[in-house]
């Protein structure tokens, strides 16, 4: 039996925007791995960095655990790990060095490590898992359990889907992107989480407590900018009854007021969501929940099934109000569908949020104004705004990689800096973001404010839009990257997606 410390490197304290937002979730993928290692018979401890003060707190944990192995396994369900933020990579590297200094073997896994294993190997990691890496992890742990003194060469011999240092150089033994591993099943190790710390922060900041779950791993769509170093275009959905049983367990054990489903695409088919709803009703297990989905999946049967299951809020990756930008992104949706989906879900009592992306290749002022129009017409309950962020492995990244300078990642999630030669500078997009947020605020105040005060607010907002639009030439990049060719062939036809998910 090995002493294994499982951890990750996302420190809320190192991300000012998220700290301010104050909505921390336990690291789901990390505690799924902890549960798997425990089922294999090992003594597993968790160091959860989410609410820790900093790397020093991690270092202080090491003498009491004295792990044989540290598995630094990022929470692949936390979208911030996809962004590979600089501050978290620095934290991971310091944690690796500290664990190695205490004599532990170190295995690392996550989006950033899959893209840039050399950075983590240079910090002292023995092995980087490429992608989800569960098969390789299980193999490595079994070997070490059998031969605790095995040298690194013997330990990793014949294992695929990993990266190691070989003669001072990183060497990756590729396996190709693998489907989500079926060994990662069952309840995550919820007992290792200090639930009360999470509850305290949520209650203090928001007056309620939210926990997270997942019903699937992966997404079969192929939006040009969406990085998928972990599951590629695979999609594996859990059994509806099993997901309902987990929600019921969380409800009766930890009493959350709300559940956030971290899936890229929740449910996918209305018949699955209907089964989920029926099981929840049988078990009295329903907790109001939030999902992420797509406009084209938000059909009438889906909206009805979501309502029955207790869905309170759905976030849609709307991205843009300009059809040509959606086509450049290979988003596979129509602007009209975005509005339809918003109305349909709203009619079933489900709040709707739109994720908006500014600054995609080729996007012009007219496209940005089309997005303003979309927000005015669809009137979502909330929006989240970001700028296009080229991540390795995406078609978008390939189109702009020669323009990336020293800055290839945001330092933290509030950075919102342009990293390629877009149409406008970062300040212009930050201005657009602020006005879009304000527009939603004014739209949402429709019922509360008097007609006069709302009229005044709208007039003030229009004036600010006019001022920003008038300044656009000052922010325009003379050397902007031209628009790409539309790439509809990257859109997966929905009927193929429906077939693929059943495998
Ligand atoms: S729908 Fe597009 S953006 Fe959303 S997870 Fe899938 S590929 Fe990524």
Measured from the CB, is residue 144 less than 6 Å from ligand 1? Answer: no
Among 81, 221, 263, say which to mutate for ligand 1: greatest number of ligand atoms within 8 Å of CB: 221
- Ligand 1 atom closest to 331 (CA): 2
User: How close is the Cα of 314 to the center of ligand 1, in Å?
Assistant: 15
Measured from the CB, is residue 221 less than 6 Å from ligand 1? Answer: yes
Strand ranges in 275-350 using DSSP code E only, listed in sequence order: 289-293, 311-319
User: How close is the Cα of 84 to the center of ligand 1, in Å?
Assistant: 17
Spatial distance between the Cα atoms of 497 and 235, rounded to a whole number of angstroms: 9
pLDDT tens digits for 191-233? 999 999 999 999 999 999 999 999 999 999 988 888 777 888 8
- Average pLDDT of the residues of the chain: 90
pLDDT tens digits for 366-381? 999 999 999 999 999 9
Helix, strand, or coil here: 180? coil
Spatial distance between the Cα atoms of 286 and 271, rounded to a whole number of angstroms: 17
Phi/psi at 414 (5° precision): -90, 5
pTM for this one? 0.88
Measured from the CB, is residue 294 less than 6 Å from ligand 1? Answer: yes
Spatial distance between the Cα atoms of 236 and 264, rounded to a whole number of angstroms: 11
User: How close is the Cα of 266 to the center of ligand 1, in Å?
Assistant: 12
Spatial distance between the Cα atoms of 304 and 448, rounded to a whole number of angstroms: 28
Among 180, 264, 389, say which to mutate for ligand 1: greatest number of ligand atoms within 8 Å of CB: 264
Tokens 């709040």, located at residue: 351
CA terminus-to-terminus distance, the chain: 35
Spatial distance between the Cα atoms of 224 and 492, rounded to a whole number of angstroms: 12
Residue predicted with more confidence, 186 or 83: 186
**Residue 235 contacts residue 272 (beta carbons within 8 Å):** no
User: How close is the Cα of 323 to the center of ligand 1, in Å?
Assistant: 17
Spatial distance between the Cα atoms of 88 and 97, rounded to a whole number of angstroms: 14
User: How close is the Cα of 355 to the center of ligand 1, in Å?
Assistant: 11
- For 405-416, what is the HEC assignment? CCCCCCCCCCCC
Phi/psi at 330 (5° precision): 60, 40
* Helix (H) or strand (E) run with residue 377 in it: helix 365-378
Spatial distance between the Cα atoms of 339 and 342, rounded to a whole number of angstroms: 5
**Residue 104 contacts residue 68 (beta carbons within 8 Å):** yes
Which residue's CA is the nearest one to ligand 1's atom 8? 226
Helix, strand, or coil here: 400? helix
Measured from the CB, is residue 350 less than 6 Å from ligand 1? Answer: no
pLDDT, average across residues 283-310: 96
**Residue 92 contacts residue 47 (beta carbons within 8 Å):** no
pLDDT > 80? residue 185: yes
User: How close is the Cα of 333 to the center of ligand 1, in Å?
Assistant: 11
Task: Compute the Cα dihedral for 76, 80, 83, 86 and give only its sign.
Answer: negative
Which DSSP symbol is given to 212? E
- Residue 478, judged by CB atoms within 10 A of its CB (0-12, 13-18, 19+), counts as exposed
Spatial distance between the Cα atoms of 304 and 325, rounded to a whole number of angstroms: 31
pLDDT tens digits for 149-183? 999 889 999 999 999 998 888 888 887 788 888 89
pLDDT > 60? residue 499: no
Dig out the tokens for 230 from the structure: 């972990």
**Residue 39 contacts residue 182 (beta carbons within 8 Å):** no
User: How close is the Cα of 227 to the center of ligand 1, in Å?
Assistant: 9
User: How close is the Cα of 109 to the center of ligand 1, in Å?
Assistant: 22
**pLDDT-based confidence at residue 105 (cuts at 50, 70, 90):** very high
pLDDT tens digits for 385-432? 998 888 877 888 888 888 776 666 666 556 667 778 889 999 999 999
Give the number of C-alpha atoms closer than 13 A to the C-alpha of residue 261, restricted to the C-beta side.
Answer: 32
Q: Rounded to an integer, what is the distance from CA 448 to the centroid of its chain?
A: 34
- Ligand 1 atom closest to 294 (CA): 1
Spatial distance between the Cα atoms of 376 and 47, rounded to a whole number of angstroms: 45
CA angle 188, 192, 193 (to 5 degrees): 90
Measured from the CB, is residue 317 less than 6 Å from ligand 1? Answer: yes
Dig out the tokens for 51 from the structure: 């609410």
pLDDT tens digits for 438-457? 999 988 886 667 778 888 88
Q: Across-strand partners of 106?
A: 70
Task: Compute the Cα dihedral for 434, 440, 445, 446 and give only its sign.
Answer: positive
Which residue's CA is the nearest one to ligand 1's atom 5? 264
Residue predicted with more confidence, 72 or 78: 72
Spatial distance between the Cα atoms of 228 and 373, rounded to a whole number of angstroms: 31
Q: What percent of the chain has pLDDT over 90?
A: 71
Q: Which residues contact 285 (CB under 8 A, 6 or more apart)?
A: 244, 245, 247, 248, 249, 251, 252, 279
């Amino acid at each position: 039996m090995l002493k294994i410390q499982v951890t990750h490197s996302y420190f809320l304290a190192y991300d000012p925007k998220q700290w301010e937002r104050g909505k921390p979730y336990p690291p789901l993928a990390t505690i799924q791995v902890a549960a798997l290692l425990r089922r294999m018979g090992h003594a597993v401890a968790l160091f959860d960095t989410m609410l820790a003060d900093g790397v020093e707190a991690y270092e202080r944990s090491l003498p009491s655990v004295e792990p044989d192995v540290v598995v630094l396994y990022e929470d692949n369900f936390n979208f911030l790990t996809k962004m590979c933020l600089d501050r978290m990579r620095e934290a991971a590297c310091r944690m690796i060095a500290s664990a190695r200094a205490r004599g532990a073997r170190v295995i690392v896994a996550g989006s950033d490590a899959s893209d840039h294993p050399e950075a983590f190997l240079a910090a002292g990691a023995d092995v980087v898992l490429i992608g989800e890496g569960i098969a390789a992890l299980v193999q490595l742990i079994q070997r070490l359990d059998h031969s605790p003194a095995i040298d690194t060469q013997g330990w990793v011999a014949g294992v695929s889907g990993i990266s190691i240092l070989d003669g001072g150089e990183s060497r990756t033994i590729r396996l190709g992107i693998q489907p989500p591993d079926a060994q990662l099943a069952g309840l995550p190790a919820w007992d290792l989480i200090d639930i009360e710390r999470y509850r305290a922060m949520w209650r203090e900041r928001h007056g309620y407590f939210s926990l997270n779950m997942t019903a699937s791993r992966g997404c079969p769509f192929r939006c040009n900018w969406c990085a998928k170093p972990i599951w590629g275009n695979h999609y594996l959905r859990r059994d509806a009854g099993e997901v309902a049983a987990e929600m019921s367990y969380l409800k009766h054990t930890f009493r959350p007021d709300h559940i956030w489903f971290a899936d890229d695409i929740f449910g996918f088919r209305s018949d699955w969501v209907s089964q989920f709803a029926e099981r929840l009703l049988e078990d009295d297990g329903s907790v109001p929940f939030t999902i992420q989905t797509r406009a084209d999946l938000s059909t009438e049967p889906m909206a009805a099934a979501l309502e029955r299951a207790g869905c309170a809020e759905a976030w849609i990756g709307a991205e843009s109000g300009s059809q040509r930008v959606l086509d450049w992104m290979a988003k596979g949706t129509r602007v009209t569908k975005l509005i339809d989906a918003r109305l349909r879900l709203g009619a079933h009592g489900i709040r709707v949020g739109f994720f908006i992306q500014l600054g995609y290749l080729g996007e012009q002022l007219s496209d940005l104004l089309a997005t303003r129009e979309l927000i005015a017409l669809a009137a979502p309950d909330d929006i989240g705004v970001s700028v296009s962020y080229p991540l390795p492995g995406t078609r978008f990244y390939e189109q702009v990689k020669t323009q990336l300078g020293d800055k290839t990642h945001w330092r933290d999630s509030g950075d919102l800096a342009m990293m390629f030669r877009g149409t406008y500078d970062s300040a212009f997009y930050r201005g657009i973001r602020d006005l879009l947020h304000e527009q939603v605020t004014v739209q949402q105040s429709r019922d509360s404010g008097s007609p006069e005060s709302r009229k005044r607010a709208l007039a003030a907002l229009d004036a600010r839009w006019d001022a920003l639009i008038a300044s656009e030439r000052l922010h325009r990049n003379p050397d902007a990257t031209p628009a790409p060719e539309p790439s509809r062939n990257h859109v997966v036809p929905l009927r193929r997606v429906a077939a693929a998910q059943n495998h």
